[in-house]
Every structure is written in structure tokens, then in C-alpha cells.
Structure 1
Amino acid sequence: MPDFNDLTLLPFCVGLTLLGLIGSWFAWRRRGVAAGTRGVAWSLLPVSLYLTGLLELVWDVVRSTVSWITHLIFSPTVWSGVALFGVSVVLYVVSGVARGRSGNQKAQKAEKKPASPAGELTATGPAPASATTAKAAKPSKGKAKQQESSEFDEIEDILKRHGIN
């Protein structure tokens, strides 16, 4: 990108200001005082930026931004970094799915383990006597299904009495 010095910036800013003031005069005549005043305000900005030294700062920011964007777009190193970022996101999501599935498998294995009688040695040590009594106190799955089916039967009877099938 070209580098501007004071000899090229001053005439450029003065030219922009003059063009803006001419356009503001036409806007003032056609659309009124508010449009013309707004045009004058915008027209004075190039010269004010030059006189305060902010125009060079703005130019440096624009030049650096364009350089960074072109480096980002055309650099194979950057694109390999973007690809690695994508792979890491995919692996993170897959690990979350795998973690959820392994938790379900552990729960299923725990349900399939047979209950050990009191005092029998297990992999973690002897089973406490209270564990077997607590398991014996729980109703079996067959009884729970019978209760649910009897509840549904009662609901069906109520619906039939009211004429709802």
C-alpha cells in the first residue's frame, strides 16, 4: 500500500472538504437547513483530521487491518490453524457424547450385577448385611408393572363410564 506524506495528504483533504461543501450547498437549497448543516459537518472532517494528526493514525489503522486480513486469507499456516481449531471442537463434542454413553453403560452394568448375600466377599470387600435387607425391602419390577397396569385399568374404566374411549 502506498504511504502518504504531508504533501499528498493536505491537498487530498482540502479537495474532499471542498467537494463536500459544494454538495452541502446543493443539499441546503433542495432539502433545507438541516440537510445542509449536516453536510457541512461531514465536509469539515477531512481537514480537521489532517490538522489534528488523526488522519495518519486512521491511515495506519486501515493499512494494518488490510494487511492482517490479507495475511489471514492467503496464508496456509493460518488455514492450518483454523483446521486444527475445527478438529479440536469436533473432538470435544465427540468426547461429550462418549462420556454420556459410558455413564449409561455403567448404570446398566450396575443393574445387571447379582446381589451378593450378606458377608460374601466382593471386589470392594465384604457386602454389608444392611445392603441385602434394603434390596429385599424393595418391590420387584414385576409388582411395579402390575400396579401400573391396575392403575391404567382403573383409568380406562373411568373413561368408559363417561363415554370416552
Structure 2
Amino acid sequence: MIAETVCSAASAAGLGIAVVTAYRKRFLAATRIAAYSLVPVGLVMTGVVGWLADTAFSPTAWAGFGVLGMAWALFATTRIVERRRGGTRAERKAARGAQRDAVAPAASAPSLGPGARQSTRPATAPAAKSSADEFSDIEAILKKHGI
């Protein structure tokens, strides 16, 4: 009963502030304040405030919160220990097996295929053309286009 009264009073005060804000021609802010001030009344009307008040003063509810906290602490502790150890046994065993097996143990170098010959020239050095060869290429292109 007290919680409902406090919520109603807070809503009334908020609506009063919204009216003063609207009087100052700040309608957007007044609308926002009115929306916030209607929330407590809505919570009272839906029964949430009564449920929270019953829960806050219930020793059984507080014991339940304690049990939930203990469960969370146990989960967190096991996760911390698991990370320090490096995972569960099955995960460690799978990781060790993956380290031993290579992806492709027989492939040591890329295959060039039958009859492939390697160039004696380094791959990074471009073939040097003489200026006459370059001009003849340009002439051929120009003749092709009729220029």
C-alpha cells in the first residue's frame, strides 16, 4: 500500500513538472517528462510494484537470490579453472591430436607437373626489351588501327 502511494505521488509530481515545462514552451521536453512520470502509475496498475514489495520483504525470496548467487559463483569458478587448465580433457586431447596430424603430410613442395621446366632467369627480373622492339610493337598497333 505504501509503495503504491509513493509511486502515485512521484507520478503526480512528474506531471506537475511537465506542465511547468510546457508552460515555458518546451513541449518536446514536457512530453518526455510526462512519459517518464506515467511509468510508476503503469507499474502500480500492472501489479509489478506489489510483486516487488512482496519479494523485497520475503525471507524465502532472499534465500532464493542467495542460492542463485551461489550457483553463479560456482559456474564462474569452474570457467576460470577451465581456462587456466586449457579446456576440458576432451578438448585437450583433440588439440594434441590436431597438433600431431599435419594437414597434408605428403605435400612438401608444390608440384610443377610433368614436363615443366624451370627458368634459369630469376622470376623478379623482367625481360629487357630493346627500344627497337618497343617501337615495332607500337608501330604494329598503330597500323592495326589504321593510323
Report the TM-score, using the length of structure 1 for normalisation: 0.47
Q: Is 1:50–2:55 an aligned residue pair?
A: no
Instruction: Give the counterpart of 2:120 among 153, 156, 161.
Output: 153
Structure 1: gaps of 5 or more residues = 1-5, 112-140
Structure 2: gaps of 5 or more residues = 130-147
Task: Give the corresponding residue for 1:97.
Answer: 95
Task: Give the corresponding residue for 2:135.
Answer: none
Equivalent residue letter for 2:6? F
Equivalent residue letter for 2:4? L
Residues 11 and 37 in structure 2, CA contact (< 8 A), matched pair in contact too: yes
Equivalent residue letter for 1:26? V
Task: Give the corresponding residue for 1:38.
Answer: 32
- Judged with a 3 Å threshold, the aligned counterparts in structure 2 of structure 1 residues 81 and 19 are, in CA distance, closer, same or farther, namely same
Residues 3 and 53 in structure 2, CA contact (< 8 A), matched pair in contact too: no
How many angstroms apart in 1 are the aligned matches of 2:123 and 2:40? 86
Equivalent residue letter for 1:36? A
Moved over 6 A (4+): 60-65
How many angstroms apart in 2 are the aligned matches of 1:88 and 1:62? 36
Task: Give the corresponding residue for 2:7.
Answer: 13
Identity among equivalent pairs (%): 16
How many angstroms apart in 2 are the aligned matches of 1:43 and 1:49? 11
Equivalent residue letter for 1:24? A
Task: Give the corresponding residue for 1:118.
Answer: none
How many angstroms apart in 2 are the aligned matches of 1:34 and 1:23? 13
Task: Give the corresponding residue for 1:83.
Answer: 77
Choose between structure 1 and 2 for higher RCO, CA contacts under 8 A separated by at least 6 residues. Answer: 2
Give 1 or 2: higher helix fraction: 1
- SS of 2:125's partner is helix
How many angstroms apart in 1 are the aligned matches of 2:5 and 2:51? 18
How big is the shift at 1:62? 8.4
Report the TM-score, using the length of structure 2 for normalisation: 0.51
- How far does the alpha carbon of each residue in 1:108-134 deviate from its partner, in whole angstroms, 9 at most, with x for none? 6xx7xxxxxxxxxxxxxxxxxxxxxxx
The root-mean-square deviation of aligned C-alpha atoms, in Å, is 4.3
